[in-house]
């Protein structure tokens, strides 16, 4: 039994390494193209390009490792099932229990490795990559605008933008902290950046939104002002305070995220984006274990050994997983559902699907 288990595990690892190379190559192609453009268009030194490439690798691995665990499981057990080896093992009274347990342990190992990446390696490398890109490409205020992060670079304001496309902004929240009062808040569905060359200021024209304003008759009593357009001028803090780039969720480790959640919450600002980022570190890490649990019964049912089919099926499963994750994350960011459910819904759905398929396999 040990010989058979060792054979299957060795075969699985060979397929995992093959899948990891293929998936990582596909994910890296687009980034390599951008790095080459930096070297040609902006004259960036090749040494800096190599550093950027190394900084990108961990952010690729957090996705390519789970996808590769699923692909390896589908290919390995798909071949065994298509050759009727699994039927032969069960007919001979050989249990696959030890193989499955070993695969679960491997999945748990990769999940813990992914958690280390998310908590330690990825935040450091991702932040250094963004800092390098800022220094290489842009010295104007627009360089400090980042999607889905609390931007504290501008005087008197904390800004959160859900999406940035060139000079167009979507779903903007601007907070103006005040002493002993809830922060003044401006919310807009859309906005447009109007650059002012040579100055440390940025003009944004907000559209279709609502702002907190003070009443002329009762200065201490604010009221909500609906607007079609609302221009606002943002001024950078002093350059000496602006040396560090504001960290995104992916740039923070778990301890930093928890600390930032408390800070933002105490300021009276919605901390949902930070909670989403915190839960996402765990959910993405444990997707490796979830994919292995799903891959085994799925491969046994499909019973195909072709590698092209294995890669195709893996792509479909991962696409569904990440679509559910993106949908849940979007709902959580809008406070429609709690951050926990928004981020973990994909793992929970796939976990119960896996357990259902495994139970069906055992009963057959």
- The answer to whether position 66 is within a domain reads yes
- The answer to whether position 115 is within a domain reads yes
pLDDT of residue 266: 84
92 and 186 housed in the same domain: no
- The answer to whether position 263 is within a domain reads yes
58 and 182 housed in the same domain: no
SS3 200: coil
Question: Residues with Cβ < 8 Å from 358, sequence gap 6 or more?
Answer: 100, 293, 296, 297
DSSP state of 233: E
Last residue of a domain, one of 216, 239, 268: 268
Residue 142's alpha-carbon distances to 73, 119, 204, in angstroms, are 45, 28, 10
pLDDT of residue 272: 87
pLDDT of residue 352: 93
CA torsion sign, 100 to 101 to 106 to 112?
A: positive
pTM score: 0.78
91 and 31 housed in the same domain: yes
216 and 295 housed in the same domain: no
- The answer to whether position 273 is within a domain reads no
265: its two tokens? 């919450």
* DSSP calls for 283-330: HHHTHHHHHHHHHHHHHHHH----HHHHHHHHHHHHHHHHHHHHHHHH
Phi, psi values for residue 246, rounded to 5°: -60, 140
50 and 163 housed in the same domain: no
36 and 107 housed in the same domain: yes
Asked if 293 contacts 104 with a C-beta cutoff of 8 angstroms, the reply is yes
20 and 37 housed in the same domain: yes
- The answer to whether position 183 is within a domain reads yes
- The answer to whether position 166 is within a domain reads yes
Burial label, 201 (beta-carbon count in 10 A; 0-12, 13-18, 19+): middle
335 and 254 housed in the same domain: no
**Considering only CA atoms, which of 253, 244, 292 is closest in space to residue 102?**
292
Burial label, 82 (beta-carbon count in 10 A; 0-12, 13-18, 19+): middle
Its domain, for residue 304, covers: 2-136+278-363
Rounded Cα distance between 120 and 256, Å, is: 11
6 and 92 housed in the same domain: yes
126 and 44 housed in the same domain: yes
286 and 333 housed in the same domain: yes
pLDDT of residue 238: 62
pLDDT of residue 280: 92
Rounded Cα distance between 63 and 285, Å, is: 9
- In tens digits, the chain (364 residues) has pLDDT values of 567 777 788 888 999 999 999 888 888 877 777 777 666 655 667 777 788 888 888 888 888 999 999 999 888 888 777 777 666 776 666 666 777 788 888 889 999 999 998 998 888 888 888 777 766 654 456 666 778 888 887 888 888 888 888 788 999 999 888 777 778 889 999 998 887 766 677 888 999 998 877 655 555 566 788 889 988 888 876 655 455 667 777 888 899 999 989 988 888 888 888 999 999 999 999 999 999 999 888 887 776 556 667 678 888 999 999 999 999 998 998 889 999 999 999 999 999 999 888 888 776 6
Any idea what the Cα angle at residue 45 is, between residues 43 and 50, rounded to 5°?
125
- The answer to whether position 32 is within a domain reads yes
Rounded Cα distance between 231 and 223, Å, is: 18
Question: First-to-last CA distance in the chain?
Answer: 22
Burial label, 67 (beta-carbon count in 10 A; 0-12, 13-18, 19+): buried
Q: Count how many domains the chain has.
A: 2
Question: Residues with Cβ < 8 Å from 279, sequence gap 6 or more?
Answer: 339, 340, 342, 343, 344
Rounded Cα distance between 335 and 84, Å, is: 50
Last residue of a domain, one of 268, 294, 309: 268
Phi-psi map region of 208: left, alpha, beta (phi>0 left; psi -120 to 50 alpha): left
118 and 151 housed in the same domain: no
**Considering only CA atoms, which of 31, 49, 29 is closest in space to residue 39?**
49
pLDDT of residue 58: 84
- The answer to whether position 93 is within a domain reads yes
Asked if 160 contacts 152 with a C-beta cutoff of 8 angstroms, the reply is no
SS3 348: helix
Last residue of a domain, one of 224, 249, 268: 268
């Amino acid at each position: 039994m040990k010989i058979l288990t060792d054979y299957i595990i060795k075969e699985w690892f060979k397929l995992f390494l093959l899948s990891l190379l293929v998936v990582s190559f596909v994910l890296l192609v687009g980034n390599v193209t951008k790095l080459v453009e930096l070297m040609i268009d902006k004259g960036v030194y090749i040494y800096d390009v190599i550093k950027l490439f190394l900084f990108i690798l961990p952010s690729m691995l957090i996705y390519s490792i789970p996808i590769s665990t699923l692909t390896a499981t589908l290919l390995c057990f798909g071949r065994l099932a298509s050759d009727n080896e699994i039927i032969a093992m069960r007919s001979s009274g050989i249990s696959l229990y030890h193989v499955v347990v070993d695969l679960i342990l491997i999945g748990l190992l990769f999940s813990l490795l992914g958690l280390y990446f998310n908590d330690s390696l990825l935040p450091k490398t991702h932040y250094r990559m963004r800092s390098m890109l800022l220094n290489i490409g842009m010295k104007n205020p627009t360089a400090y605008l980042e999607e889905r992060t609390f931007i504290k670079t501008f005087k008197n304001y904390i800004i959160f933008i859900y999406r940035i496309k060139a000079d167009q902004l979507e779903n903007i929240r601007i907070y103006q902290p005040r002493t002993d009062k809830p922060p003044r808040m401006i919310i807009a569905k859309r906005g447009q950046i109007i650059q002012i060359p040579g100055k440390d200021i940025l003009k944004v024209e907000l559209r279709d939104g609502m702002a907190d304003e003070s009443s002329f008759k009762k200065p201490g009593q604010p009221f909500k002002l609906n607007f079609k357009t609302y221009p606002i001028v943002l001024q950078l803090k002093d350059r000496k305070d602006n040396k560090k780039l504001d960290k995104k969720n992916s740039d923070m480790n778990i301890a930093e995220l928890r600390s930032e959640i408390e800070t933002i919450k105490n300021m009276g600002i919605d901390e949902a984006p930070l909670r989403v980022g915190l839960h996402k570190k765990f959910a993405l890490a444990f997707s490796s274990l979830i994919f292995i649990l799903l891959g085994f019964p799925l491969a046994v049912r499909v019973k195909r050994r072709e590698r092209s089919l294995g890669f195709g099926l893996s792509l479909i499963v991962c696409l569904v997983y990440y679509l559910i994750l993106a949908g849940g994350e979007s709902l959580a960011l809008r406070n429609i559902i709690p951050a926990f459910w928004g981020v973990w819904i994909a793992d929970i759905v796939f976990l119960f699907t896996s357990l259902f398929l495994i139970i069906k396999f055992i009963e057959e």
